[in-house]
Structure 1
């Protein structure tokens, strides 16, 4: 009976969904315990489920203040779920990517001598060890920097500073956005000794383990070239960070409710912070709900795109966005095939990218329409909330806690599918790719 309930191990995408679903259920059960709340009474099941899903999916949307509602035990449960979610996403996505690469490599290149159809034990150990080493190293260094700043710069007791440093370091690297302050990191908006370590952890976690591994290998073997995936990710990620920083800083420069109340240095620091945090980090140093509508729209776009593949960031991923841009550019030029950085893109990859994007758009539209029907809030706020949940960002205009339970459950589903959907869908499509034995007569319908 139990074997029937468990997913088929030959279907890795199903295993991923099952594993994360189980983590959400266990986290919900722990947060329902009376000891998890500061009041000592059981928490509402919707609140517990929402928080557990947000933590496991490293989103950061909250319906109750983390420090005020949850006890130390509850905070540690949230922290553990964030760590499990971040490590799980990076590990499983990296393994799925390696599995896809090897299967397609065998099929297309016919190099059976050097490629295998499945991952061997050495590959699995290498990926898991690499992910854990990178995660713990970055989190430790970030926690040390934040602890020193909290203790020396703000006079916090060392134990308190260490606890806050570790919590925010783990949350930053995993792009979770959970904070132990009621207004996120707004009190540190002009403090580079807090903001910069957080931003560095966000970027490293958001690039993805394959890119980090490629950079490390490139530094050790100077003659080795970065993979196409790594080059596309780094270029697109950097371009989007620059675009986000410039637009947020320009649009909010004179807004007295956001950047307008800071000096030039503070404006630039906050502008950079909010140019990076839509990569799915979720922290904020200014009031998002007071931003100009144009800034919110730009943030919507950045949140939907997200960060790097096989990392802690969500969204459709920067590589998916870049691939579609390359396809469009080739089509506009009338080129029959898509060439990028000295390589040709397979037709199957182009179709997979298009599928992921269109399904993502459909999910956001469906969720936005549902939230509009279930809540009294306007389109700007609801759309922002939907994209934030789908992209596992965690930024909010402040309406999350005021949504009815039915609307919060919609966000729970959106966070879960948004976190796992692009990964499992892309891998499932790639692993199911097969040749066609015949072709039907060709006929072109009218486009446009």
Structure 2
């Protein structure tokens, strides 16, 4: 990777080391006695699990964030979420620029930038824009939440502002941490709380390159890049599908939406369709959802959100690109075309690699947890997909898992958050063209 600070560094080393350093620092801070209300130090595993979950903006926890951690500990968690989300958006965007420059495309990932090589000036420009964008959105959502906490729930201005800021940062970064023991179940039918949080989740998870391009060309969808088209329309399709499916499957379920008013069910349904896109906020008890809803959540969590955003999963672009590949193959077309553009074979192979590696990681993690526990496959699979896709939704089994299973989830969170960026960028940056072709042979498929 040339052009950053004049050196040569490979993303396979830069990204994991950067996130690992943040995890280590976070673990150290959360291990301090002042991080908890009591005089004793938190166990290292508890501090490390929380640090990994916060830096990887997941939201899975082994303890109650609202009561276990002191105000200092909660501030540390919010700081780790911010660092993790900012690092994800910045590194993914910069690596996207490098990939574009390496492949010599005519348009860049960030709305057809003029340069094809990333120098130190580009780095500062991108970092500044990401920071300003994040802080502006987080501040706007924090104001709305603060006013609601203050006027509806009789919180003092200080407490309301703190809760507004924390949940805004957590939502925009798709982290799913909350300052209430039941997460957000107490606000399930409060549209003034849940809708801003859902909007923050979508905006943060759609990706900085898409946000930037939409700002410039939101009235000209025909001029959008393939990346933006796949992300925007794919996100809309998944949101509508998730919301409709959640409402249909949980409308009469007494353990989730069944006891709410019709409007409360709509608010809960919207939240239920948005948060599996890797936000992880619990507005209902996910231990009570139907098996059909759990199956839908498997898919939504696995796909995740947009590239170069705070969401996890294999990413919307990856999923819908492969859908176009299948459609082209079914129609017998040699090329994969999206929005009057041909997608190269290298990109298709990279997408397949990301998906297969994700499936392998989830399969191995699920098998390990099953071996060390007596839990059923459906709840374990829900937890491992949630961890790998950095979602944070849970049926409530995480605090009771043995240390070996918790360590497995930590590895899945780290690999799922860091690995997708690293693998996708490394594959693109190390691609090379052979100057000869071997004899062709076609094995039997299917």
- Alignment correspondent of 1:255: 253
Residue 90 of structure 1 contacts residue 310 of structure 1 at CA under 8 Å; is this kept in 2?
A: yes
Tell me the equivalent position of 1:351. 349
Corresponding residue number in structure 1 for 2:3: none
> 1:61 touches 1:394 (CA, 8 Å); kept in 2?
yes
Equivalent-residue separation in structure 2 for 1:206 and 1:366 (angstroms): 27
Residue of structure 2 aligned with 1:417, choices 411, 415, 418: 415
How far residue 121 of structure 1 moved from its aligned partner, in angstroms, is 2.2
Q: What is residue 140 of structure 2 aligned with on the other side?
A: 141
Count of matched residue positions in the alignment of Structure 1 and Structure 2: 436
Report what 1:53 is aligned to. Answer: 52
> Which position in structure 2 is the counterpart of 1:19?
18
Shift, 1:38, TM fit = 1.2
Asked if structure 1 preserves the Cα contact closer than 8 Å seen for 2:235 and 2:305, the reply is yes
Secondary structure of the structure 2 residue equivalent to 1:260 = coil
Distance in 2, matches of 1:121 and 1:432, equals: 22
Provide the C-alpha distance between the structure 2 equivalents of 1:38 and 1:108, rounded to a whole number of angstroms: 53
Q: Which residue of 2 aligns with 1:269?
A: 267
Aligned match of 1:400 in 395, 398, 405?
A: 398
| Residues 165-207 of structure 1 deviation map (CA, whole Å, 9 limit, x = unaligned) | 1000000000000000011111111111101110111010010
Q: TM-score, normalised by structure 2?
A: 0.95
Gaps of 5+ in 2: 1-6
C-alpha deviation, 1:12, in angstroms: 2.5
Q: What's the CA shift for 1:106?
A: 6.0
Q: CA 1:363–1:329 in 2, change beyond 3 Å: closer, same or farther?
A: same
Cα distance in 2 between the residues matched to 1:44 and 1:265: 43
Cα distance in 1 for partners of 2:282, 2:264 equals 14
2:367 equivalent to 1:374: no
Give how far 1:384 is off: 0.2
- Name the structure 2 match of 1:386: 384
Structure 1 unaligned regions, length at least 5: 1-7
- CA displacement, residues 289-344 of structure 1 (integer Å, 9 cap, x when unaligned): 10001100100110000000000000000000011101011111111111111100
- Deviating above 3 A after TM superposition, structure 1's stretches of 4 or more consecutive aligned residues are 106-109, 114-118, 221-224
Matches within 5 A, 1:66-81: 66-81=65-80
TM-score, reference length from structure 1: 0.95
1:157 corresponds in structure 2 to: 156
Q: State how 1:181-220 maps to structure 2 within 5 Å.
A: 181-219=180-218
Correspondence for 2:35: 36
| 1:398 counterpart SS class | coil
